[in-house]
Amino acid sequence: MPRTPPAPQEPPKVGATLAALRQRRGLSLDELSRQAGVSKSMLSQIERNQANPTVAVVWRLATALGVAVGELLGDGRPAAPLLATIAAHATPTLTSPDGKCELRILGPIELAGQFEWYTLTVQPGGTLASQPHEPGSREHLSVLAGALEVAAGPEVARVRHGETARYAVDVAHRIHNPGKTQALAILVVLHPT
């Protein structure tokens, strides 16, 4: 029986990866063009995915950027930066139904459902109540200012400044501020893997 040839695949699009690597190194198109011996117009076309470079061009670019050829030929996603900062106004924030609890989501979205961390601000009388998470989930609450009351199922504990509570969250649970001053905490949620 004759074999069916595989469907032709598109060549990898290296544009986003090339642009990210060039920017990470603080190089302009002119500078990379000189270092790699590739024309500026060709670099621009590659970064905009309007041209696919030859193997020789990929090798020159990888050499000039100090990376393996495979990094340029990867899946087309830009390489992760060595350092990234998130502006305060760009940090997602959730507010409890009573309006007295604010969760600032510090962890990246791709870790949601595995490992999450937040800053939690709770005004006096505020309560953050949650339904059970998946079996085996746990929270770690470290109080940075004030005091909070944590309930996991039937168990309740008061957590003061500098203390940490670790508790199961595969049961109904809540965090409450019974005091007269605002409380601030770091909340880490670990989901089973």
What phi-psi label fits residue 72: left (phi over 0), alpha (psi between -120 and 50 degrees) or beta? Answer: alpha
Look at residue 8 in the predicted model and tell me its pLDDT: 58
Average pLDDT over every residue of 152-177 = 96
Average pLDDT over every residue of 122-130 = 96
CATH architecture for residues 88-190 = Sandwich (2.60)
Residue 31: helix, strand or coil by DSSP? Answer: helix
- What type of residue is 74? G
Side-by-side strand order, sheet with 183-190: 93-95, 101-105, 115-122, 183-190, 138-145, 164-168
What are the structural domain ranges in the chain? Answer: 15-72, 88-190
Look at residue 121 in the predicted model and tell me its pLDDT: 97
Q: How far apart are CA 89 and CA 81, in angstroms?
A: 21
**pLDDT tens-digit profile of 30-82?**
889 999 999 888 888 888 888 878 888 888 888 888 888 877 776 545 556 67
Q: Is the pTM of this model over 0.85?
A: no
For 145, list phi and psi in degrees, rounded to 5. -155, 140
pLDDT(103) > 90: yes
Helix (H) or strand (E) holding 44: helix 40-47
DSSP percent split of the chain into helix, strand, coil, nearest 5: 25, 30, 45
Superfamily of domain 15-72: lambda repressor-like DNA-binding domains (1.10.260.40)
Q: In the 8-state DSSP scheme, what is residue 137?
A: -
What phi-psi label fits residue 62: left (phi over 0), alpha (psi between -120 and 50 degrees) or beta? Answer: alpha
DSSP 149-161: EEEETTEEEEEET
Average pLDDT over every residue of 157-171 = 97
Any idea which residue has 């605002």 for tokens?
182
Closest residue by Cα to residue 106 from 188, 9, 184: 188
pLDDT(9) > 70: no
